[in-house]
Homo-oligomer: A and B are copies of this chain.
Amino acid sequence: MKKARRHYRILMLTTLTLGLLVWYGTSHSIADEGMWTFDNPPLKQLKERYNFTPTQEWLDHVRLSSVRFNDGGSGSFVSPHGLVLTNHHVGRDQLQKISTSQKDYVKSGFYAKTRAEELKTTDLELNVLVSMENITERVQSSVRKDMNEKQALEARKAEIAKIEKESLDATGLRSEVVPLYQGGEYWLYRYKEYTDVRLVFAPEQQIAFYGGDPDNFTYPRFDLDMAIFRVYENGKPIESQHYLKWNRQGAPEGDLVFVSGHPGSTDRLDTVAQIETQRDYAYPQTLKTLKQRVEVLRRYSSQGPEQARQAQGLIFSLENAIKAYNGEYQGLLDKNLIAKKEKEEREFRALVEGKPDWKKEYGSAWQEIETAELKEREMLKPLRFRSLQRSFSELANYAQTIVRYVVEVKKPDSERLDGFHDAQLASLKFLLFSNAPVYPQMEERLLADGLRESLEVLGPNDPFIKAALNDRRPADTAHELITGTKLADPALRKSLVEGGETAVASSNDPLIVFVRKVDPMIREMRKSFEDNVHSVETDAGEKIGKARFAVYGKAIYPDATFTLRLAYGTVKSYSMNGTIAPPVTTFYGLFDRYYSFNQRPPFDLPARYLERRERLDLSTPLNFVSDCDIIGGNSGSPVINRKGELVGLIFDGNIESLVGRFVYDGTANRAVAVHSGAMIEALRKLYDAGALAEELEGKMTKNAKVG
Contact = CB atoms under 8 A, between A and B. Distances in A.
A655 B577 contact: yes
Interface in A320-340: 323, 327
B619 A595 contact: yes
Given A253-B598, A596-B583, A619-B595, A217 B578 contact: yes
A596 B586 contact: yes
A652 B665 CA distance: 31
13 contacts: A217-B578, A252-B598, A327-B578, A576-B577, A578-B654, A583-B598, A584-B596, A588-B591, A588-B592, A588-B595, A589-B589, A591-B619, A595-B621
Nearest to A624: B596
A660 to B, nearest CB: 14
Contact of A592 (B573, B579, B589, B597): B589
Interface residues of A, number: 37
A585 interface: yes
A582 interface: yes
Contacts of A323: 578
Contacts of A573: 597
Given A218-B579, A573-B597, 16 more contacts: A253-B598, A577-B655, A580-B597, A582-B593, A582-B596, A582-B603, A583-B596, A583-B598, A584-B596, A584-B598, A588-B595, A588-B618, A589-B592, A589-B596, A592-B592, A595-B621
Contacts of A583: 596-598
A349 to B, nearest CB: 30
A374 to B, nearest CB: 31
Nearest to A578: B655
A496 to B, nearest CB: 45
A577 B216 CA distance: 11
Contacts of A218: 577-579
Contacts of A25: none
Contacts of A596: 220, 582-586, 589
A72 interface: no
Interface of A: 211, 214-218, 220, 252-253, 323, 327, 573, 576-580, 582-586, 588-589, 591-593, 595-598, 603, 618-619, 621, 654-655
Contacts of A597: 573, 580, 582-583
A251 to B, nearest CB: 12
Contacts of A576: 577
A592 B215 CA distance: 17
A592 B585 contact: yes
Contacts of A327: 578
B580 A214 contact: yes
Contacts of A591: 586, 588, 618-619
Contacts of A585: 592, 596
Contacts of A211: 579
A148 to B, nearest CB: 47
Nearest to A220: B596
Nearest to A575: B214
Contacts of A217: 578
A1 to B, nearest CB: 12
A324 to B, nearest CB: 11
Contacts of A589: 588-589, 592-593, 596
A597 B573 CA distance: 9
Nearest to A588: B592
A220 B211 CA distance: 15
Contact of A579 (B215, B253, B578, B582): B215
Contacts of A595: 584, 586, 588, 619, 621
Contacts of A220: 596
A580 B618 CA distance: 23
Nearest to A591: B588
Contacts of A214: 579-580
> Could you say which of A216, A253, A582, A585 has the most chain B C-beta atoms within 10 Å of its C-beta?
A582
Return the 3 tightest CB-CB contacts between A and B, nearest first. Answer: A582-B596, A589-B592, A578-B655
A603 B585 CA distance: 13
A582 B592 CA distance: 10
Nearest to A597: B582
A543 B654 CA distance: 51
A625 to B, nearest CB: 11
A577 B597 CA distance: 17
A491 B327 CA distance: 65
Nearest to A580: B214
A597 B591 CA distance: 17
A580 B218 CA distance: 10
A596 B571 CA distance: 12
Contacts of A586: 591-592, 595-596
A659 to B, nearest CB: 12
Contacts of A655: 577-578
A211 B581 CA distance: 11
A565 to B, nearest CB: 25
Contacts of A593: 582, 589
Nearest to A253: B598
A571 to B, nearest CB: 11
A579 B211 CA distance: 9
A595 B587 CA distance: 10
> Could you say which of A216, A252, A584 has the most chain B C-beta atoms within 10 Å of its C-beta?
A584
Contacts of A215: 579
A358 to B, nearest CB: 40
A602 to B, nearest CB: 10
A218 B582 CA distance: 14
A621 B598 CA distance: 10
A621 B595 CA distance: 8
> Could you say which of A579, A583, A586, A589 has the most chain B C-beta atoms within 10 Å of its C-beta?
A579
Contacts of A588: 588-589, 591-592, 595, 618
A421 to B, nearest CB: 41
Nearest to A573: B597
Nearest to A599: B619
A655 B582 CA distance: 18
A82 to B, nearest CB: 35
Contacts of A619: 591, 595
A347 to B, nearest CB: 27
A621 B591 CA distance: 12
A647 to B, nearest CB: 16
